[in-house]
Each structure stands twice: as C-alpha cells, then as structure tokens.
A = this chain, B = another copy of it.
Amino acid sequence: MKSVKGFQFSGIHSGIKKENKDLALIYAPDGASFASVTTTNKFAAPGVHYTRAITKNETLLKAILVNSGNANALTGERGTQDILTLLRTLGEHINVKPTQGLALSTGIIGKFLPVGIMQEAMLKLTQSLTDNPESFATAIMTTDLVPKIVYHQWESEGETFSILGIAKGSGMIQPNMATMFSFILTDATIDSSTLRQMIPDIADKSFNAISVDGDASTNDSFLLLASNKKAQITAKNLADFQTELTNVAIQLAQKIVRDGEGATKFVEVRILCAKTVSEARKMFQAIATSPLVKTAWFGQNPNFGRILCTIGKLDTSLDPEIVDLQLGPHYVVKQGAAVDTPKSLLDTYMQQPDLCITVTLHQGDACFTGWTTDLSYDYVKINAEYN
C-alpha cells in the first residue's frame, strides 16, 4: 500500500468534466510543513497567486483541493473569490480554514469555475478520503493517459520514511517553470523553512529539466509536504534526504515526459563540456522545442544536421568547429564536420523507443541533461481538438 502516515486522499467526478474524475483532495488532518514552486508565467492563475500568498504567510498546510477540466485562469478577481468560496465550503466538512488550504486548477483557460457543482460535490469528496492516493492521482489528470505515482521507502538512522510523489502533466511542459502539478509527500519531521531551502534545487534537477512542447502553463505548481509523523531529519541525514526527494522528483518528471502528448520516443539529451550550465540548459531547451528535430525523431530519421542547426541559432559561446555529436553510441559529427557513419547503423538506432543524443562542446566542464519527446501526428490531433 502506497500510503504516507499523516495524509489522506480522495478523487471523484463532480461534473466539471462530462465524465471522468475531476475533483481531488489531499488532507493532512494534523497539518504538514510545506514548500512550493509555482509557474513563472505572467498570466499565473488565481490559484497560483493564492498558493504564493499562503506559502509566504503560513508554515502549516492541511488541505490541497485540485480540480481538472478548468484552469480558473484569465478569470480575474472572480477567480480569486471562487477559490475562497470553495475553501470555505471545504471547511464545512473537514477541519480546514481557508488559510490552511490551497485550491489548484488545471484544464481549459478563460472559463469560470462551475462553483455550485463543486460545492455540492464537497460532501462526497471528503467522505471518500482514504490512505490510497490512486483516486487523487486519477482525478487531477487532463490529457494524461496514465496516473503518475512514485512511491519510495528510505531507511536512515534506524527509521523507515515514506516518500510519495504524484504528478499530472503531458503538454505545456517546459523547463524553468515548475511545469505541471507535482506533489511530493513524506512522513518525515522537518520544518517548512528547511523544505523551502531545498525545493528550488530539487525542481531544477527534475521538473525544470524536461520539455514536451515549450509552453509553460498558467497553473503549474510543485508542492512538497511533510506530515512530521516519523523521526526528525537531522544535519546528519539532511543531504541524503534531499537526494531521495530529488530522485523521486526525477522519476516523476520522466513519467511526465513518457506520457508526453502523442509521444512515441523518450529522448535523453546530454549537453557536455559546455562553458556554463546556463548555456547548456539553453541548448537542451532549443533541441527539445525544435519541431524540425522532434518530427525527425518521430520519423525515426537520423537527420542530425537539424540538431546542430537548432543550437547554432542561439546566442552562445559555441564554437562550431570543435563540436561533436552522437546519436546513441554513434558519432555523426566530429569537430564540426559530418562523419561517414553507415546510415544503416543510424537507421537501426533511431528505431529504438528510448534515444540518447549527446552534444559535446569542448569548451568547459559544465553539463546539463534533460528529457524530452518527439512530435507526432497524435500531438497535433490531441491539441487541435482540445476544448
């Protein structure tokens, strides 16, 4: 059972979507320490602004209400009022004040929440709370094909800690924006201020290292919660604890990429020997968002010129005459010139579902590894029809 002491979950169909679950709740009856990272998008939704305010002013969180099917974005002051209304109604059923709760939304942008429907569903939602996170993970999905759960147990200093990760997201996935919903819950004892010191680095190595289509949503949020039910994390095991959390975050991030809209390939892109991490990250981002590169991957086409072409357009310190490029183990460019690798070898390599592209810049010792997908007919279909 993937449970974490101190947290309960539920997920139901309320009627925001025509069918499928669309309303979800995480409840920590005794409260949890917490930290958050939210989207950098300027059109951040009211739910994101509310999360930022609560993170700024509070150190204890009891509830996270999440709906799918409607992003409550571009909804102005009414969007904020709707959040308060929903949290007040939630407080009529479980012991949560509006300042102890969050209300996150994902789905179509520019429509008001059907607040009445959601209020009516609140009784059923709270009555359905259990230790099992699966309904929650399903109810937060939009175009996701599968729920995304990572469960990990970690033993340290004679105690067994649980770490549970739950995420949603498969489009609008872009680095540097904490890009989707992601919740990581643990039963360890650790205060909000320490969690808040950790969270940016965890996000950078996981959710900020993936890209499906280059767009960052108005609603993306990453929440880290600790129920303080198990032993205290100490100076002795703090670094290890952060590594464990980071590994769970990376696994969740990779699950999001693998479920990328229409994805038929999972591609690891390694930028090696760059001058700075920031330049390496920029190059990853250019490769991971180039429609020309991504459609070639979909076509299982070793058209490697497009990869260098797309990083060549950037304003970086790249020296085109010393770059190497590998498709998997095969060198295709050495010192900026094409290498005569047999096309049959490359064709065979490109047929694998998991690809690895390595760009070696020979300019320094910075590197960046990120994960992305191809661009398929189904990506177009999913997004042409999404309403």
Tell me if A108 counts as interface (CB < 8 A to partner B): yes
Listed stretches A15-23, A223-231, A245-253, A308-316; interface member = A308-316
Task: Tell me if A387 and B303 are in contact (CB < 8 A).
Answer: yes
* A110 to B304 CA separation, bound complex (whole angstroms): 8
Is A290 in contact with chain B by the CB < 8 A criterion?
Answer: yes
Cβ of A90 under 8 Å from chain B: no
Specify the chain B residue showing the minimal Cβ separation from A177.
B313
Whether the pair B387, A110 counts as a contact (CB closer than 8 A) is: no
Instruction: Give A6 Cβ to nearest chain B Cβ, in Å.
Output: 35
For chain A residues 125-174, which have a beta carbon within 8 Å of chain B?
A: 171-172, 174
Residue of B nearest to A374 (CB): B384
| A179 to chain B: closest residue by CB | B313
> Are A299 and B75 interface neighbours, CB within 8 A?
no
Bound CA span A300–B385, Å: 9
Chain B residues with CB below 8 A from A171, complex form: 292
Q: Is residue A320 within 8 Å, beta carbon to beta carbon, of the partner chain?
A: yes
Given contacts A338-B111, A380-B375, A383-B295, contact A289 B214 (CB under 8 A): yes
A305 at the interface (CB under 8 A from B): yes
Interface centre among A108, A304, A387 (most CB of B within 10 A): A387
- CB within 8 Å for A214 and B291 given contacts A303-B108, A380-B375: yes
One of B73, B75, B301, B380 near A386 (C-beta < 8 A) = B301
Q: How many copies does the complex hold?
A: 2
Say whether B110 contacts A333, CB under 8 Å.
Answer: yes
Q: CA of A267 to CA of B348 in the docked complex: distance in angstroms?
A: 39
Q: List 8 A-B contacts (CB under 8 A).
A: A44-B312, A73-B305, A109-B305, A110-B305, A213-B292, A218-B305, A291-B291, A299-B383
Contacting chain B: which of A35-43, A189-197, A271-279?
A: A35-43
Q: Is A60 interfacial (CB 8 A cutoff)?
A: no
Least CB distance from A94 to B in Å reads 31
A336 contacts chain B at the CB level, 8 A cutoff = yes
Residues of chain B lying within 8 A (CB to CB) of residue A375: 291, 380
Q: Is A83 interfacial (CB-CB < 8 Å)?
A: no
Q: Taking the complex as formed, is A332 at the interface, i.e. its CB lies under 8 A from any CB of chain B?
A: yes
Interface bits A181-219 vs B (CB < 8 Å: 1, else 0): 000000000000000000000000000000001111110
A109 / chain B contacts, CB cutoff of 8 Å:
303-306, 308-309
Alpha-carbon gap, A107 to B111, bound state (A): 45
Q: Is A74 a contact of B305 with CB atoms below 8 Å?
A: yes
